[in-house]
Amino acid sequence: MRVLIVNTAERTGGAAIAANRLLHALNNNGVEARMLVRDRKTDASEVVSIPRSWRLKANFLWERGVIWLANGLSKRNLFQVDIANAGTDITSMEAFRWADVIHLHWVNQGFLSLGILERIMASGKPVVMTMHDQWYFTGICHYSGHCEKYRTQCEHCPMLKSPVIDLARRVFDRKRAMYQGRRLAFVGCSRWMADLARRSPLTHGHLVTNVPNAIDTSVFSPMDKTSARERHGLPSEGRLLLFGAQRITDERKGFRYLKEACESIVETHPNLAKQLGVVVLGGDAQAVKSALPLPVYPVNYLNGESEIAELYNAVDLFVTPSLQDNLPNTIVEAMACGVPCVGFDVGGIPEMIDHQANGYVARYCDSQDLAQGIAWCLNGENASLNEAARARALATYSESVVAQRYLDVYRTAQSMTVSSLRS
């Protein structure tokens, strides 16, 4: 079986990382796979990119421009929605013709348009869509928040300010027509995302399932903590938390609650606070250095997975106070390194963290309970958390496990396509 994984970027962003890891998981487990991207970062032979052209930038700017105009000339939520009104046709490329299965991941921001997606679905090839967010089953948003219009009909999107043109309804209706009469496979990275997708009329009549993101558990594995701290210039003594995000100041990542939790720890667990520090990884890390009442150690972006694995091994606990998330790669990475995790009871997080078994699931938006979870995990009596985290990663996210689950999805998609063509 030959699988073409399609994603806007090769390396940048959570979806790109997950798609790239799946590429290697498939190739390492008997499935021939390639990856087609717009933004290529390496010279890997199994990765191909669309031809470079001024049109790529123009597609991106045209889409943002239409959103900006329809949003009353406001930049509000400019990158929280996508309308897919421009893109590059990949159906004539050799990589597309080569593939038996087309596996779409995150294809927004001017990479694939709705028209091109329709050509892909009309090609007769089985199409699998991994939902790294909600865009495939909403009108235009990636995360709907408290809005549930996607369950009936997206219109008058609350993310847009008094739109002159109802982009949400227009795109929702276009997706409905595009999906209708075809047998498609929608795959959530978490059960939570798959459950949300089933509520949308856009997925009715299609396969909706879930498969977690894969990880190379030989790279992300436990190693000596002392040497890991030394390589990253971190203190050799004391306890360290790790918080990371592509952009630390993104409200959805919940830094505010981490701040409040640290303040609570200083007040209620003074002995722990004296030996506790916070490692902050990602964009704007330096900007939040003075915001916490504990020592902060900012870390710039790390390029290689080996460096990232070392950083996980340098800390005692990973904390993710995200307010809405699918199946964070960061939790998978931390667990594979034998690092317990603390996060809110939201999205796919409670599917990943087994409460008080390999980490702690705190009540949603409850910074006091988040602080309690941190203190509980760092209690010396809970040393078994590390082994439990590693065991969970091996059983759920290892390359062989995820590759086999996707192979089952591909085979089902092939049989659905054959059945659809015959009918």
Q: What is the domain-level CATH number for residue 114? A: 3.40.50.2000
Token reading at 342 = 């603390």
Q: Determine the pLDDT at residue 422.
A: 53
- Label residue 245 by pLDDT band (50, 70, 90): confident
Q: Determine the pLDDT at residue 244.
A: 86
Same domain for 161 and 278, yes or no, is no
Same domain for 187 and 234, yes or no, is no
| 131 inside domain | yes
| 320 inside domain | yes
Same domain for 389 and 406, yes or no, is no
Backbone angles phi, psi at 183, to 5 degrees: -110, 105
Q: Determine the pLDDT at residue 419.
A: 63
Digit-coded pLDDT (tens) for 267-308: 999 999 999 999 999 877 777 888 899 999 998 778 789 999
Distance CA 49, CA 5 (A): 12
Same domain for 70 and 190, yes or no, is yes
Domain that holds residue 288: 225-396
| 80 inside domain | yes
Same domain for 346 and 280, yes or no, is yes
Give the percent of the chain with pLDDT over 90: 80
Same domain for 21 and 97, yes or no, is yes
Digit-coded pLDDT (tens) for 300-337: 778 789 999 999 999 999 999 998 887 888 999 999 99
Token reading at 206 = 């299609």
Distance CA 300, CA 150 (A): 38
| 182 inside domain | yes
Q: Which residues of 169-195 are buried (b: 16+ CB within 10 A; e: fewer)?
A: bbbbebbbebbeeebbbbbbbbebbbe
| 220 inside domain | no
Q: Determine the pLDDT at residue 136.
A: 98
Which of 61-75, 306-320, 355-369 shows the lowest per-residue confidence on average (mean pLDDT)? Answer: 61-75
Same domain for 406 and 388, yes or no, is no
The mean pLDDT value of the chain amounts to 93
Q: Determine the pLDDT at residue 4.
A: 98
- Label residue 43 by pLDDT band (50, 70, 90): very high
Same domain for 207 and 328, yes or no, is no
Residue 360's beta-bridge partner residues?
342
| 374 inside domain | yes
| 219 inside domain | no
Torsion of CA 51, 54, 56, 62, to 10 degrees: -160
Q: Determine the pLDDT at residue 421.
A: 56
Same domain for 69 and 197, yes or no, is yes
Distance CA 197, CA 186 (A): 8
| 369 inside domain | yes
Q: How many domains does the chain have?
A: 2
Cα-Cα-Cα-Cα dihedral sign, residues 298, 350, 108, 307: positive
Can you give the length of the chain in residues?
423
Same domain for 94 and 165, yes or no, is yes
Same domain for 314 and 404, yes or no, is no
Same domain for 237 and 194, yes or no, is no
